Structure 1
Amino acid sequence: MAALLFLLLLLSTLSSPCSSSASSDSLSMDSSLSVENTDDLLTSPGGVFSAGFFPVGDNAYVFSIWFSSEALCGSNCTVVWMANRDQPVNGKGSKLSLLKSGNLVLTDAGPITAWSTNTVTRSSAKLYLHDNGNLALYDMEGEVLWQSFDFPTDTLLPEQPLFKDMQLVSSTSKTYYSSGFYKLYFDTDNVLRLLYDGPEASSIYWPDPEFMSWEAGRSTFNSTRVAFFNSLRNFSSSDGFTFTAADYGDRWQRRLKLDVDGNLRLYSRGDGGGGTWVVSWQAMTQTCRIHGVCGPSSLCNYDPGSEVRLSSFN
């Protein structure tokens, strides 16, 4: 019944194309969002998430999804997904367009394609932003052509699965959003791992490589390789790893993020999204044990009540 209602809604909106789109939860075929129009946003039906052009530098923008409860957050929005993190577009002339072919294309100040879904359909298509944070492209029959949940960047949202061919990749820094050196992924032995993959070295640091997988509570026998967490507080992975966050309840907003320091953290906040994000779980209790966090020729002084402090001994 729910699928039928969605299909009827989709068919009713596909018949009303427009040349541009102001704030709504969908983008019709042959329509676009412009970087120069700040009102060109997609906002999920319940107002939980917004999608649009997010500033990442001087005249540099990334098409992103963020929590829309943070009004006028500017460059401080809590971003949960990025389309073109490694190829920002210009602040003039750039557009996200849903072409008549069914391809969703991000162009950089003209004909240069910075990113696309590489989708094709013979029928009409429509892009929707859902209240769970998933940006999904549907054909006229309601079939998913593409969805952002299949292409995570550094964050997982509740009920968003991480499969064997997916990975989370940290940002380079808190202000530079291009792909960093830390990754969360399923290894070939079916174990969920954290990896430092730098230009000169690559090493696994979680679970602790000093222990065998079974000693770390992991199983290598389940080849499904899938992990996810629900809206309450529970995380589960096919290798047997589970955790429960410090808080409880479905009234909390949550996000699992691979931070710039290489630590995997679950963040929660209440008050209908108006509260402060707090860490309700983290993979590494001692950040200094993460490969590369201190850089070369440095000592790492770990203080659980503050950021990692670095001191050079050159």
Structure 2
Amino acid sequence: MAKAKLTIDRIIDPTVDAIETRRILDVFAARIEARFPNGASSQAKLELLVTSLSQPGPWNDHRPFSYDLADPFGRNIRNKLLSTYLATRKGNCVSMPVLLVVLGQKLGLDMTLATAPEHVLVKFRNDQGQWINIEATSFGTKHDTGYQQELGIAPKAIASGIYLRPLNKHESVAVMIATVMEFYGQQGRQQDRIKTADMVLQVAPNDVVAMLQKGNAYFRIMQERYLSKYRSPDEMPPAQRLDFDGLQRNNQLWFERAEALGWKMPTQAETAVYQRNIQRTRATPQGGK
């Protein structure tokens, strides 16, 4: 998991020191493991892992990790890099769950990633075989119903398995690769974005983020080539109109495929709830989430 994440991060920033970052991860894992009492249950180990990240102590050099309230939507792509999170101790819904799973797996815990609309969370399986959701941005737990209500997840999306399902290793890597597609989009490298989405969809055919990234890439190409130059498709020469129509079909196709699996565009009300939560958190004396 760590190797995959750092390989992905180096695509975005080749200066990332993968060897040093893995050393830091090993040090963290060793410090946390030293806190485990003999015969500790998986649940007890999880709780010590979580407090080792969220509470100040010698295990984290008295610098706990917390949610980055200055960039709650993760607009700065480099804030999603694992090395950035380890250095700043300020994370988001990509870096925070990834670090939790990386360390948890190093410590022998059964942990993996899961997704919700525009969100990544952690699934932990206890000694009784029950899956428990860990909300890594707050270091707490949350039931599936909580995510469904707060994020407006449709029953169809649960039935299709696009949300709140424990992901296998390939699917977890696909989730992390979303950051690369986002990076390519910001860089205007739409063809690279499409190729990366195709690669993801080969191993995770129902990855709606890859579908949406691909659909949006076609729209950006359409916008750059034609929408910025013509007031209407009727003004385009025949060859360009043909290309425009093909791009438009692909744009619509991938959004329709995501919708067929239960994805929907976030409503203004849902976005407003999230923004209010951020504002309330900023107003607390602790400044934590």
Could you state the TM-score of these two structures normalised by the residue count of structure 1? Answer: 0.26
Higher RCO, 1 vs 2 (CA within 8 Å, ≥6 residues apart): 2
Could you state the TM-score of these two structures normalised by the residue count of structure 2? Answer: 0.28
More helix by share: 2
More strand by share: 1
